[in-house]
C-alpha cells in the first residue's frame, strides 16, 4: 500500500556514506524512487547498466560529466540527464566544487539498493575483495551490471576521478 506524504527539505532517509538522502520511496509511490545527493569533487559513479529502471537526474547545482552509451556530455545546473534502462552510463565531478542532484528511478525497484551500498562502504569498503564481492553480489540482485573492465580506459581517456 502506498502512502501520501509531504517530505520537507530536512526529511528523508540518509545514507551518509554516499552523501545522499532517499526522499520518495516505494512506500510512497510504487513507480518512483527519488534521492537527493551531493557529488563531491573528483567523485565517480563508474560505468554500469540498469536492466530494470529508467533514470533521470536533475542538477540542482554544479556540473557533472556523463557518459551515456558512447557519448560524453557535460551537464550543469538546471539540466535533466535521461538514462533509459539498458544503456551503459557513468558520471563524475571533474570540478573542484560539489554538485547537487535529484536522482529519479522508475519503477521504484531500486529502493533498498543505496541503504545496502552504504553498509558496504562503512563496512569492508569497495577497495577490499570482500567489499567488492558484496557490491557485485548486490548489483546482480538488483539487475545492475557493473562494467569494471571499462574503468581503466575511461580513466585514461577522460580523467574521471581526477581533479
Q: What is the mean pLDDT of each run of 10 residues along the chain (163 residues)?
A: 90 94 94 96 94 98 97 97 98 95 96 94 91 95 95 85 63
pLDDT of residue 160: 77
Q: Could you tell me how many residues make up the chain?
A: 163
Q: What's the per-residue H, E or C state across 6-72?
A: CCCCCCCEEEHHHCEEEEECCCCCCCCEEEEEEECCCCEEEEEEECCCEEEEEEEECEEEEEECCEE
pLDDT of residue 133: 94
Which residue's C-alpha cell is 535521461?
82
| Alpha-carbon gap, residue 47 to 160, rounded angstroms | 11
Task: Tell how strand 44-50 and strand 89-92 pair up.
Answer: antiparallel
Region of 24 (left: φ > 0; alpha: ψ -120 to 50; beta: rest) is beta
96, three cell numbers: 573542484
pLDDT of residue 163: 55
pLDDT of residue 63: 97
| Alpha-carbon gap, residue 11 to 124, rounded angstroms | 28
Task: Tell how strand 20-24 and strand 13-15 pair up.
Answer: antiparallel
pTM equals 0.92
Close Cβ partners of 16 (under 8 Å, ≥ 6 residues apart): 118, 122
pLDDT of residue 159: 81
pLDDT of residue 73: 96
Amino acid at each position: 500500500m502506498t502512502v501520501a506524504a509531504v517530505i520537507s527539505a530536512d526529511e528523508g532517509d540518509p545514507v551518509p556514506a554516499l552523501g545522499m538522502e532517499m526522499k520518495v520511496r516505494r512506500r510512497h509511490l510504487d513507480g518512483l524512487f527519488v534521492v537527493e545527493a551531493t557529488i563531491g569533487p573528483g567523485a565517480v559513479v563508474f560505468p554500469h547498466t540498469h536492466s530494470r529502471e529508467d533514470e533521470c537526474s536533475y542538477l540542482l547545482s554544479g556540473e557533472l560529466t556523463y557518459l551515456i552509451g558512447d557519448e560524453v556530455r557535460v551537464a550543469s545546473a538546471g539540466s535533466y540527464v535521461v538514462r533509459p534502462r539498458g544503456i551503459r552510463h557513468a558520471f563524475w565531478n571533474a570540478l573542484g566544487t560539489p554538485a547537487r542532484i535529484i536522482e529519479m528511478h522508475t519503477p521504484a525497484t531500486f529502493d533498498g539498493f543505496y541503504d545496502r551500498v552504504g553498509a558496504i562502504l562503512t563496512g569492508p569498503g569497495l577497495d577490499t575483495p570482500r567489499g567488492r564481492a558484496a557490491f557485485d553480489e548486490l548489483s546482480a540482485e538488483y539487475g545492475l551490471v557493473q562494467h569494471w573492465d571499462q574503468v581503466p580506459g575511461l580513466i585514461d581517456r577522460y580523467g574521471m576521478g581526477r581533479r
